[in-house]
Structure 1
Amino acid sequence: MISKIICFLVLFLFQTGWSQHGERTILKGRIISNTNDLEGVYVINAQTEAMVNTTTDGYFSIMAKSGDTLIFSSIQFKENRVLLTPENFSDLNFTVKLNLLIHQLQEVIIKRYDNINSVALGIVPSGQKSYTPAERKLQTATALNPTANAGTMAGGSISADPIFNFFSGRTAMLKKEVAVEKKEFFIRLLENMFTLDHFVDRLKIPVEYVKGFEYYVVENESFTKILNSKNKTSTEFLLGELAVKYKEIIACEAK
């Protein structure tokens, strides 16, 4: 009797073990990593070559059994191989950790090609004057074009647009735009060279008068020439002299 029971138990354990190792079932799991981009990772059963992809949250389901090897492969992760055990099938939170694949550059070389420009490429003729947007408008409005009506009159004629622009006041308006544009350019150059603290703490200009002081100094032609040369020492010296005069103007206005 005892021998029959032992044989039954042995047979039962053998069938259970064979079922676990011989039949594949659905294995559910999830990948985790230091990134939220977990979608599209390949999960491959090396034994059956069955392949699935992970979802947005990193979940996957694949037919497997204990003893199979799962391969986790993706462009952004290092390949990981996991040998499955019986515990993996009973684990409701079966997770696989993947490490990000970092491509490290050995050397980065940045080259400057100062000699490559529109003139060197033949796009713009050499020696041609460059214009700002406001200067280009003024040049267009005041330039006399002797070939303006060459197609309708023998020998051509001079365009009357500059004359109309002059009497209509458009030329004067465009000249003002050019002047304003130059002032704005010099103010930006000045602000890039000196901070607000320099005007307030060093030159003792009240903070509410700093912007007015900037317009005051760019009206000075001698100062703008030095400023345009980007010589900070000379600019700072002349800026100090103009600051003294500007504070005197402020003091007079306050009386």
Structure 2
Amino acid sequence: MINKVLCVLVVVLSQAAWSQDQDRAIVNGKVVSNTNDLEGVYVVNAQTEVMVTTTADGSFSIKAKPGDTLVFSSIQFKENRVLLTTENFTDLNFTVRLSLVMHQLQEVIIRRYDNINAVALGIVPSNQKTYTESERKLRTATALDATATASGMAGGSVSADPFLNFLSGRTKMLKKELIVEKKEFFMKLLENMFSLDHFVNRLKIPNEYVKGFEYYAVENDKFTVILNSKNKTSTEFLLAELAVKYKEILAGENK
């Protein structure tokens, strides 16, 4: 008996749902907003829970009837609910305006901490010598890695890498790279301290020989020591002396 009652209820409810669905028709519309990105907006019939999404131009088609509520939802738009009327089904220009969600950033305050560095944080010991790239390569190639082990000799073992680097010529090559690096450093330092006009008009070095004179100057060890001290007066004085000698060399070559 109970089974018969349940069957009757299922049939009645199905017929009611079918009759309600028969009352619904397709409503066509379009969402609009202050953006061209209108694709993928969810359109849900709150009564039937039927869901569709908008096309690239914002168009949608969904089954509904007057009195149903359409819910428009998307991550970039504020939710909008529209109660359908009879006119919406015959309106060829049925549009729903959506408002963009504005994500407002909080104030960002940037503080500068000049005294915070690797040394201050204890990551790097203070007064530690720093190395250039060429210096690091040369130091790695020539350093003796002495390590004492329980099974090794009393004095520890010594890596053979420095010896092999010496035999292969790698150490010699790295030393040359270090010399070139230092010369390039002094060249930049010299060019930053004095303009091209100073060399040409003050020291009377022909324009085409300025670069050669710079190389000539940084070859002088005494000059590079003074140059590295960044004492412009002393550097300028010695540079003038070197300019006289360099012009004498040019004069001798041009005879």
TM-score range, shorter chain: 0.5 to 0.7
Partner of 2:12: none
- Taking a change above 3 Å as real, the CA distance of residues 160 and 115 of structure 1, as seen in their structure-2 partners, is same
- Taking a change above 3 Å as real, the CA distance of residues 182 and 84 of structure 1, as seen in their structure-2 partners, is farther
Partner of 1:173: 173
- Equivalent residues of 1:148, 1:159 under 8 A apart: no
Structure 2 counterpart of 1:58, which letter? G
Structure 2 counterpart of 1:226, which letter? K
- Taking a change above 3 Å as real, the CA distance of residues 100 and 126 of structure 1, as seen in their structure-2 partners, is same
Partner of 1:79: 79
For the residue of structure 2 that corresponds to 1:63, the secondary structure is: strand
TM-score for both structures, normalised by structure 2: 0.57
Partner of 1:230: none
Moved more, 179-188 or 46-55: 179-188
Consecutive unaligned residues in structure 1, runs of 5 or more: 1-21, 228-233
Q: Which protein has the larger Cα radius of gyration, Structure 1 or Structure 2?
A: 2
Partner of 1:104: 104
Deviations 1:141-162 (A, max 9, x none): 1222332888543422444433
For the residue of structure 2 that corresponds to 1:79, the secondary structure is: strand
Partner of 1:8: none
Deviations 1:114-147 (A, max 9, x none): 5554455555444433333322211111222332
Structure 2 counterpart of 1:52, which letter? V
Q: Distance in 1 between matches of 2:76 and 2:172?
A: 62
Aligned residues: 215
Partner of 2:4: none
- Equivalent residues of 1:71, 1:79 under 8 A apart: yes
Q: CA RMSD in A?
A: 4.9
Partner of 1:139: 139
- Taking a change above 3 Å as real, the CA distance of residues 203 and 127 of structure 1, as seen in their structure-2 partners, is closer
- Taking a change above 3 Å as real, the CA distance of residues 54 and 173 of structure 1, as seen in their structure-2 partners, is same
Deviations 1:64-89 (A, max 9, x none): 23344433222212333434344432
Partner of 2:95: 95
Structure 2 counterpart of 1:144, which letter? L
Q: Distance in 1 between matches of 2:195 and 2:88?
A: 71
Consecutive unaligned residues in structure 2, runs of 5 or more: 1-21, 202-206
- Taking a change above 3 Å as real, the CA distance of residues 144 and 218 of structure 1, as seen in their structure-2 partners, is farther
TM-score for both structures, normalised by structure 1: 0.57
- Equivalent residues of 1:32, 1:95 under 8 A apart: yes
Deviations 1:84-125 (A, max 9, x none): 344432344543333322212241112345555445555544
For the residue of structure 2 that corresponds to 1:62, the secondary structure is: strand
Moved more, 97-106 or 29-38: 29-38
Structure 1 counterpart of 2:135, which letter? E
For the residue of structure 2 that corresponds to 1:107, the secondary structure is: coil
- Taking a change above 3 Å as real, the CA distance of residues 199 and 152 of structure 1, as seen in their structure-2 partners, is same
Q: Distance in 2 between matches of 1:104 and 1:51?
A: 30
Structure 2 counterpart of 1:153, which letter? M
Deviations 1:187-218 (A, max 9, x none): 78899x89xxx96899989xx97x95897599
Matches within 5 A, 1:195-214: 212=211
For the residue of structure 1 that corresponds to 2:134, the secondary structure is: helix
